Chain A
Amino acid sequence: MIDTLILTLDATMRVSTPLIFAALAGMFSERSGVVDISLEGKMLAAAFTAAAVAYLTNSAWLGLSAAIMVSVCLAMLHGVACVTFRGNQVVSGVAINILAAGLTMTLGLSWFKQGGQTPQLTDAARFSTIEFPGAEMMREVPVIGGIYSEMLSGHNIFVYLAFLAVPFTWWLLFRTRFGLRLRAVGENPKAVDTAGISVHRMRFAALLCAGILCGFAGAYISSAQNAQFVRDMTAGQGFIALAALIFGKWRPLPVLGACLLFGFLDAVAVRLQGVEIPGLGKAPIQLIEALPYILTVVLLAGFFGKAVAPKAIGLPYVKER
């Protein structure tokens, strides 16, 4: 029983990693007042780029760099559309999602001729796992040994980075001048403008952060968690991350909690595949998988707690003359 739990938690950490990166990305963007439903598209494009470049250069790190660049480009496109030209932020996000889905498949098929997939990555082109010191020795110790060697040790660098990114984001957003300004731009842009700070520049800076984080999320999915890019690889994880962002009420620690909860649900769903539960019959996997969406809808409806979005979210800033 304990072993099963440890294995499930181990899987939870792996599954939560892209959610954490993407949800933090969303936090930067939405805290600055820009709706970001294009997390999915940025992740997908980054996943494709990471796999393609890592395959061509045989270097996981070059793949990651390229993934970040592509994701940042999409974030800047979002910025040009909805900050510079005051376009509808939701429309822009939808466009980026659709564009990423189409482009990854079109370019993938034409470049690699494998039906839109990228070729399998060799170990050198992937991110390998990191074993903690003494993990092998600890394995035999009951419970603690399992937690240390199975759950905490043996992930790749992204997993640890994701968990470090949460306190870092908290510090950046809530303890620095940059963070104060970024949050102010999302709550009351006029006040920020009055203080002589460019609203547009702050929003672009926030989108830059979002782009970088989505790059990490995408590269993790295709070149660390898996060893190639396949069609629609992100499979809605960008939207789950968005749900986690809302569920965590746009705050770093609760968002981490939401990501872990959603990741845990996913890990449980995989584990329960085809398992008979006494008295209930087969577990309805679809229900467990749908729980993040249901929880988010219920939360948004204010049935427990209240998620209050940044006040200026979705509104393009118009300087008055």
Chain B
Amino acid sequence: MKGLDRNLPTWVNVGLLPLLNVVTALLVSAVVFWLIDVNPLEAAEILLYGAFGYQEGIGFTLYYTTNFIFTGLAVAIAFHVGLFNIGGEGQAYIGGLGVGLLCLALDASVPGPVLLLLSALSAALFGAAWAFIPGWLQAYRGSHIVITTIMFNFLASSLMVYLMVNVLREPGQMAPQSRALAETAWLPYIHDLFAAIGVEFERSPLNISLFLALLCAFGAWVFVWKTKWGYEIRTVGSNQQAAVYAGIKPARVMLLAMAISGALAGFVGVNEINGVQHRLLLDFHYGYGFAGIAVALMGRNHPIGIVLAALLFGALYQGGAELAFEMSNVNRDIVVVMQGLVILFCGALEFLYKPLIANMFKEKTA
């Protein structure tokens, strides 16, 4: 492919090409809808209504968005140092374990605000630790981060099943889940906050961890673009050799980036366990880690892009649930298909249209 090497104007690279890719992903999704005998336009209408059409839907959309912001930022921070962290799945799971263990131990004795603060810290710490090991193995032992993070996803899963079945299960319960946490460990719901100031808002799982997510997005922007550490991360990410000459130790920078990445993914546990489930259980993390890859790719690894992409994915998740509810021959997995297509076209095939566009530019200038 000849045009792949040609340089194109910035607006084409960051604007036109990504746009064409997203449109292609949506068009192929439309073909899938058509394959299963669903009118794509009708489906889009139901999706949009489900995601934004009524208060409860909006609540659910933003609740999913919260998780996607966390995992999207996690993937992005690792990307900036040149590592591909596909272990968000496991890190989110272990982050939730961190929340659960802490709250199960302390929820009777520690007052609410302190407990919530501690459990957020615990989520970050557990998630960071789970990402730190693959990071360390990559930086100091040369084992490939992609493979180790895949393995760590499975290890997280096995560990959680073991703990839930044998250690943390509520006595006398068949289902592998812990006892319910005391209310001091619950994050306030947004609808309760609204009610407190006299505004009516339908009940939904949306809780204040959305603000934590937005804070993280802002924090990530400051960290990556405004601090010394962020500068080092970007330097190592773009040219490791040059970084060494500049006196940066790539291994340590990688560890830092992986730990932060894991901590961000771990916050999914705060939204899920403190915010919604109020007990520790299996598979509360399901799919958010992998979706984070799509979110980061779509958002071009920039916090603003990630928040927007997370909102899109939140809407897709909630709209997809509505679609599955409305149509008997559709289930929520259609969203997984769309997610796969976004990753395919925005990530793997990101240069799909480059030769074509490059040709058009050549003709114009010739």
Give me the interface of A with B, judged by CB distance under 8 Å. Answer: 35, 37, 77, 80-82, 84-88, 90-92, 94-103, 105-107, 109-111, 113, 116, 236, 239, 242-243, 246, 282, 284, 286-287, 289-290, 293-294, 296-297, 300-302, 309, 318, 321
Contact = CB atoms under 8 A, between A and B. Distances in A.
B347 A88 contact: yes
The 3 A-B residue pairs with the shortest CB-CB distance, nearest first, are: A102-B336, A99-B340, A92-B348
Interface in B124-154: 137, 141-144, 146-148, 150-152, 154
A87 B154 contact: no
Contacts of B293: 91, 94
27 contacts: A80-B349, A88-B347, A91-B293, A91-B343, A94-B343, A95-B347, A101-B333, A102-B335, A102-B337, A102-B339, A103-B337, A106-B334, A110-B36, A110-B329, A243-B147, A243-B151, A286-B161, A286-B165, A290-B155, A293-B151, A296-B151, A297-B148, A297-B151, A301-B143, A302-B141, A302-B142, A321-B5
Nearest to B133: A297
A300 B154 contact: no
Contacts of A287: 158, 162
Interface in B195-245: none
B189 interface: no
A308 to B, nearest CB: 10
Contact of B331 (A80, A105, A290): A105
Contacts of A95: 340-341, 343-344, 347-348
B30 interface: no
A321 B297 CA distance: 30
B111 to A, nearest CB: 36
A90 B349 CA distance: 12
A35 B333 CA distance: 26
A77 B28 CA distance: 14
Nearest to B339: A98
B148 A87 contact: no
Contact of A106 (B36, B154, B348, B352): B36
Nearest to A84: B1
A106 B343 contact: no
Among B147, B165, B290: residue with most chain A CB under 10 A: B147
B330 interface: yes
Interface string B316-332: 00000000000001110
Interface in B258-308: 290, 293, 297
Given A95-B340, A99-B337, A105-B331, A286 B351 contact: no
Contacts of A109: 36, 329-331, 333
Given A91-B297, A296-B147, A297-B151, A81 B162 contact: no
Contacts of B338: 102
A312 to B, nearest CB: 14
Interface in B143-185: 143-144, 146-148, 150-152, 154-155, 158-159, 161-162, 165-166
Contacts of B297: 91
A293 B155 contact: yes
Given A98-B336, A296-B147, A301-B141, A92 B347 contact: yes
A286 B158 contact: yes
Contacts of B333: 101-102, 105-106, 109, 116
Nearest to B140: A301
Interface of B: 1, 4-5, 32, 35-37, 84, 86, 137, 141-144, 146-148, 150-152, 154-155, 158-159, 161-162, 165-166, 290, 293, 297, 329-331, 333-341, 343-344, 347-352, 354
B348 A107 contact: no
Contacts, number: 161
Contact of B350 (A87, A90, A97): A87
Contacts of A116: 331, 333
A96 B147 CA distance: 17
Among A84, A239, A301, A318: residue with most chain B CB under 10 A: A301
A293 B349 CA distance: 30
Given A92-B344, A110-B37, A239-B150, A300 B349 contact: no
Contacts of A90: 84, 86, 146
Contacts of B340: 95-103
Given A103-B337, A284-B162, A300-B148, A98 B330 contact: no
Contacts of B36: 106-107, 109-111
B33 to A, nearest CB: 9
A289 B158 contact: yes
B155 A106 contact: no
A106 B351 contact: no
Given A101-B336, A286-B161, A86 B4 contact: yes
Nearest to B162: A286
Contact of B144 (A80, A103, A309): A309
A321 B2 CA distance: 11
A85 B151 contact: no
Contacts of A87: 347-351
Given A91-B343, A106-B337, A85 B150 contact: no
A67 B329 CA distance: 24
A242 B149 CA distance: 13
A106 B334 CA distance: 6
A81 B344 contact: yes
Given A81-B349, A101-B336, 6 more contacts: A91-B343, A102-B339, A106-B32, A239-B154, A290-B154, A297-B151
Given A98-B290, A284-B162, A110 B330 contact: yes
B283 to A, nearest CB: 12
A90 B296 CA distance: 14
A309 B146 CA distance: 13
Contacts of B155: 290, 293-294, 297
A247 B335 CA distance: 35
A85 B5 CA distance: 11
Nearest to A309: B144
